[in-house]
Amino acid sequence: MEKSAARRLAIILLISFTAFLLSTYTVHDVYQERTIKIYDEVRHTMEEIRHKKIDVPVKVVDMEWVLERWGSSTVSEEEAKKEEMFYKSLLIVPSNFSFKRKVDSEVAGFMAFYWKDAVYVVRENFDPYSNSGKEALAHELEHAIQDRYFTIKAGDTHDGEKAYSALIEGSAVIAGWLYVNKSIEKELSKIENETECKFEINRGFDDSLHLLYFFPYKFGTLYAGKMYLETGDLDNGYLNPPKSTKEILEGKKSFIKVVGNWDVEGYDLIRNDTLGEFFTYIFLSTHLSDCEALESAKGWNGDNFKLFRLNNSFVFFWKICFETEKDADEFQNSITQLLNTVGVKKGDYWETGLKGTINEIIKFKRNGREILIEGMGKI
């Protein structure tokens, strides 16, 4: 009896000693101290490089904290369903796609971010002993500059929002390179090479989502980097923000506003949007070769997409205008090929469901430089 009581006491002591050690470890958090130290170094250097005071603190958080705020548990079932309907109706994700899984996988990659007047680093992903960690801090400090010194309006369409993010993220990537003294020319040519269509960067469903997510970091960096090399300053980009992904991809500023007056009785309009040239490229390249998709998307000159919903059923209309008849011809050829790949032609429409796509009735009409795609189905 006495022996076991003594043992119990020893175990209790051991546990409390471990708890004591853990609590001391929290007080002297080596990780946090190191992070604050390098953050201050990077911040001072960035203030010199950017000629601006950047007076924001750094905070260390863990993945659980991040998931609580931005993970799938913050997405309602309704919101998830609408997003799934959008991606599935346009055949860029498989029929079993889960929007919540996509959100969690994106959030899992968070290393550092700028939010509400502070830079945050995520303990599980951020390494305060690495050069890439310092580069990431410089990147986030550029976001602090964007927030504090400029009023850059985000676009209110998918296309406009992607163009805005391209400027914001692309410029922050360049700022990170400036801090670690990378050659902008060399880094840009690396991205140019790896995004060449001949490498087939979009091999299907998974790549499509990945490319949409990383558009600002790849194509946005090319855009911001070229502007930096031309003008010698990141500030210039913020004064004249891009409005469409066409501008990011081709440098062309003008496009037209397309409005379709469609309605579906008994259905709710759940999305009224301009998807843009980059999305058009992703739509085509999910099922076609990248170079063909890029070529066919390039004549994009404006679009309107409307999605209507009744429970699990949807109807969508997507009218795309092209710059020339030839551009519309190219797109027409590509979409015919795409529908033949994922569906079976029946009269004037296709029934999709091949290659992992959902079952949907889809057709298109050509009118000069305009093409109207119509789809209906269930998810």
Based on CB atoms, which residue is closest to Zn ion, 169 or 303? 169
Based on CB atoms, which residue is closest to Zn ion, 128 or 176? 176
Q: How far is the CB of 165 from Zn ion (least distance, A)?
A: 9
- Please pick, from the candidates 61, 172, 211, 362, the single residue that binds Zn ion as defined by CB under 5 A: 172
Is residue 136 close enough to count as binding Zn ion by CB under 5 A?
A: no
Closest CA to 363 of 351, 373, 371, 353: 373
Q: Which residue is nearest to Zn ion (CB)?
A: 172
Based on CB atoms, which residue is closest to Zn ion, 172 or 328? 172
CB 306 within 8 A of CB 270: no
Which stretch in 20-28, 164-172, 295-303, 329-337 sits in contact with Zn ion by CB under 5 A? 164-172
Is residue 145 close enough to count as binding Zn ion by CB under 5 A?
A: no
Based on CB atoms, which residue is closest to Zn ion, 110 or 300? 110
What's the CA angle centered on 194, arms 172 and 50, to 5 degrees?
15
Tell me how long the chain is.
379
Which stretch in 166-174, 190-198, 267-275, 288-296 sits in contact with Zn ion by CB under 5 A? 166-174
Structure tokens at 111: 């290393």
Based on CB atoms, which residue is closest to Zn ion, 214 or 262? 214
Is residue 122 close enough to count as binding Zn ion by CB under 5 A?
A: no
Closest CA to 176 of 155, 145, 210, 211: 145
Residue 310 phi/psi, 5° resolution?
-135, 105
DSSP string of 17-58, one letter each residue: HHHHHHHHHHHT-HHHHHHHHHHHHHHHHHHHHHTS-----E
236: helix, strand or coil = helix
Residues in binding contact with Zn ion, number by CB under 5 A: 2
Is residue 248 close enough to count as binding Zn ion by CB under 5 A?
A: no
Q: How far is CA 228 from the centre of its chain?
A: 22
Which stretch in 36-44, 152-160, 163-171, 301-309 sits in contact with Zn ion by CB under 5 A? 163-171
Is residue 166 close enough to count as binding Zn ion by CB under 5 A?
A: no
Which stretch in 168-176, 182-190, 206-214, 330-338 sits in contact with Zn ion by CB under 5 A? 168-176
Q: How far is CA 193 from the centre of its chain?
A: 20
Subset of 299-358 contacting Zn ion (CB under 5 A) = none
Based on CB atoms, which residue is closest to Zn ion, 182 or 355? 182
CB 308 within 8 A of CB 331: no
Q: How far is the CB of 67 from Zn ion (least distance, A)?
A: 19
| Stretch (H or E) spanning 366 | strand 360-367
Q: How far is the CB of 159 from Zn ion (least distance, A)?
A: 20
Closest CA to 340 of 327, 356, 351: 351
Based on CB atoms, which residue is closest to Zn ion, 172 or 188? 172
Q: Applying CB under 5 A, which residues contact Zn ion?
A: 169, 172
